[in-house]
Structure 1
Amino acid sequence: MDPLPPNDNTDLLTAMMAGATAGAVQSVATYPFEYLKTSTQIQDNALILAKPVSPLKLRPLYTGCTALAVGNALKAGTRMCLFNSFSSFMAAENGTTTAPRIVVAGMMTGFVETLWVIPFENIKTRLIENSLYKSGMKIKMDVMTDRFRRGVNSPLKTNKRASTTLAHSLEKKPISHGRLQALKYFHEHPSTTLTGAIKEIYQTQGLRGFKQGSSITILRQCLNSMVWYSTFSSLQQLLDPNRDSTSEFGLFGMGFVSSLAVVATTQPLDLLKTRMQTKNYRLLYRDVMNCAYRIFMKEGLRKFWCGWFPRLIKISVSSTLTLDCYEMSVKSINKLKTMRPFAAE
């Protein structure tokens, strides 16, 4: 869970640089859990023909890490600037701010910063999905494969139940010849590099491919913040109303319970977000409600909570790691600012 900006006297430039560093470090440190969570959610039990081979080395678990690290660094770095601007906007005429105004400023900051990271989330999901295909995952895409094999003007066959929705989507939304050729190429040669994934998304889906799942991502992020902070505040009010005797272990425990509440309530939204950002989303589902319905009918209710354990670990660790890294970065930057490399001794 991303922490709120700290209330200190750090200047804005230092806070932005430290925030960007903390966001990138947190992303790299916890990324294997992100990979395990996303790869589990991508695998559609109703369409899968062959499961991918689990990676035995650490390096494959970092597929897509660069995209997420860049997105989180941009998000964390601009958070301080955005929060400072929204706090000034929400301040009273005399320049003072109250707790409700700060909460509103934090919500506005969370909404805007989420927009920054959505394109990078799509790139990350595409890289993980392509890595699964290269690791042996196969799904029932008979109509797509048949259309690729026979050409753009060939009629679609819908004799297989698993391909009915895909065929309907292709007939309803015809694909241009250039985009179809790009789909064919990347279907056979899935990209596993950052630049390759950007090129694949743009050539197969255009600019809209970078903003897939925007609405569900914003909704999930808002609910994440609401559930985590409300749970943490309730526990703190119950266990330590005066907020003067909570130990570090107690803070960690309250943070873990708050993270557990987030995962328990928002994991279905996280699954839908991942599915909406896959390369075949617009061909397999009409909208988010149709996606939820098909998952429930074809894969069962338990599928909505798949990947909950690695996400729980990631959320639990990320807040503490981000704050610690932020404090260390601030101290390092302040120390560097006092050094005079060209001053005479």
Structure 2
Amino acid sequence: MSSKKEKPVHSLIAGTTAGAIEAFVTYPTEFVKTRSQFGGQRESPLTIIRSTLREKGVTGLYSGCLALVIGNSVKAGVRFVSYDHFKSILADAEGNVSAPRSLLAGLGAGMTEAIIAVTPSETIKTKMIDDAKRPNPQYRGLAHGTMSIIQQEGILGIYRGLFPVMMRQGANSAVRFTTYTTLKQFVQGTTRPGRQLPPGITFGIGAVAGLVTVYVTQPLDVIKTRMQSLSARQQYRNSFHCGYRILTEEGIFRFWTGTTPRLARLVMSGGIVFTVYEKIISIIGGREQE
């Protein structure tokens, strides 16, 4: 039995395009999620949206957007290419990948994307969102913000929170790809053997994968945001100290702060990314016989 796999260059093209589209469409939910995870007084998602629109206008909901769009496009390209690579190594003789092996492939993809793309873009985005809520923001845009961070903290300044990002991305990709691959193989095997799934079903499977991912990895996301804030160096010695302070000073449920906007984003992004990716791969003929 022959199966098909993605060509690396086509996987890269499809992945980066899907990542950029997803980041721009869902960015307001990312903005609200990040704002809600900073320390201090808790704010509901609606309160953050209303105050931002009142003080900054619609563009305020897109503070730091370009950093995430660029980072997300690179991240998605790296994720799909590396996942396909790990998956091809772990596949059986017929090209199928079991759930445990898909988990390992996703974990490897997540770790790879965290180092290459996610940590720098997430750090810059988080600092720009934190800075934007100040009365007199110091960053005038992506380029100025990036250079300012590097000048003030060195190149390691854009790698703040690397450990929780690696843990989060590894868990994200492992859970997301395993859920998506398992559901996709089940649906194709029972209802559409040998045929491509329609976009609606692909979107639904991707959305379910996003839903599962949120609740499993949310504590790592909260620690990541705190470690990348402007005041992190004054408050936390490392990621473990950060987690300990949140637990002892704010309670265990604080680890799930921002779940609603992140859930909205990942459910949408899971559907958008996998649907756009599959569509572009289909258009450019990016799969070849193994």
Determine if the TM-score, normalized by the shorter chain, exceeds 0.5: yes
Tell me how large the CA RMSD over aligned residues is: 3.5
- Give the letter for the 1:269 counterpart: L
What is the rounded CA distance, in whole Å, between the counterparts of 2:128 and 2:37 in structure 1? Answer: 14
How far residue 9 of structure 1 moved from its aligned partner, in angstroms, is: 5.8
Count of residue pairs brought into register by the alignment:
268
Change (3 A) 1:20 1:229: closer
Contact 1:63 1:192 in 2 (8 A): no
Change (3 A) 1:62 1:99: same
1:229-272 deviation digits (Å, cap 9, x = unpaired): 556678789x9795328998777666555434332232121110
Alignment-derived partner of residue 14 in structure 1: 10
Alignment-derived partner of residue 75 in structure 2: 75
Q: 2:26 aligns with which of 30, 34, 48?
A: 30
Change (3 A) 1:64 1:103: same
Contact 2:64 2:128 in 1 (8 A): yes
Alignment-derived partner of residue 342 in structure 1: none
Identity of aligned residues (%): 33
Please show how residues 289-308 of structure 1 align to structure 2 within 5 Å: 289-308=240-259
Contact 2:139 2:148 in 1 (8 A): yes
- Give the letter for the 1:243 counterpart: T
How far residue 275 of structure 1 moved from its aligned partner, in angstroms, is: 0.3
**Higher helix proportion (structure 1 or 2):** 2
What is the rounded CA distance, in whole Å, between the counterparts of 1:89 and 1:9 in structure 2? Answer: 12
Tell whether 2:145 aligns with 1:225.
Answer: no
Please show how residues 127-142 of structure 1 align to structure 2 within 5 Å: 127-134=128-135
How far residue 215 of structure 1 moved from its aligned partner, in angstroms, is: 1.0
Report the secondary structure of 1:316's partner residue: helix
Tell whether 2:121 aligns with 1:120.
Answer: yes
- Quick check: 125-134 or 299-308, which moved more? 299-308
1:39-90 deviation digits (Å, cap 9, x = unpaired): 11124239xxxx9843243211111111111111112223444345445655
Alignment-derived partner of residue 325 in structure 1: 276
What is the rounded CA distance, in whole Å, between the counterparts of 2:183 and 2:60 in structure 1? Answer: 39
What is the rounded CA distance, in whole Å, between the counterparts of 1:213 and 1:107 in structure 2? Answer: 18
How far residue 279 of structure 1 moved from its aligned partner, in angstroms, is: 1.9
How far residue 316 of structure 1 moved from its aligned partner, in angstroms, is: 0.5
Please show how residues 189-228 of structure 1 align to structure 2 within 5 Å: 190-228=138-176
Q: 1:243 aligns with which of 173, 190, 202?
A: 190
What is the rounded CA distance, in whole Å, between the counterparts of 2:180 and 2:264 in structure 1? Answer: 17
- Give the letter for the 2:272 counterpart: L
* Unmatched runs of 5 consecutive residues or more in structure 2: 286-290
What is the rounded CA distance, in whole Å, between the counterparts of 2:169 and 2:224 in structure 1? Answer: 11
- TM-score, normalised with respect to structure 2: 0.77
How far residue 10 of structure 1 moved from its aligned partner, in angstroms, is: 5.2
Change (3 A) 1:14 1:293: closer
What is the rounded CA distance, in whole Å, between the counterparts of 1:232 and 1:18 in structure 2? Answer: 17
Change (3 A) 1:10 1:33: same
Alignment-derived partner of residue 156 in structure 1: none
How far residue 119 of structure 1 moved from its aligned partner, in angstroms, is: 0.5
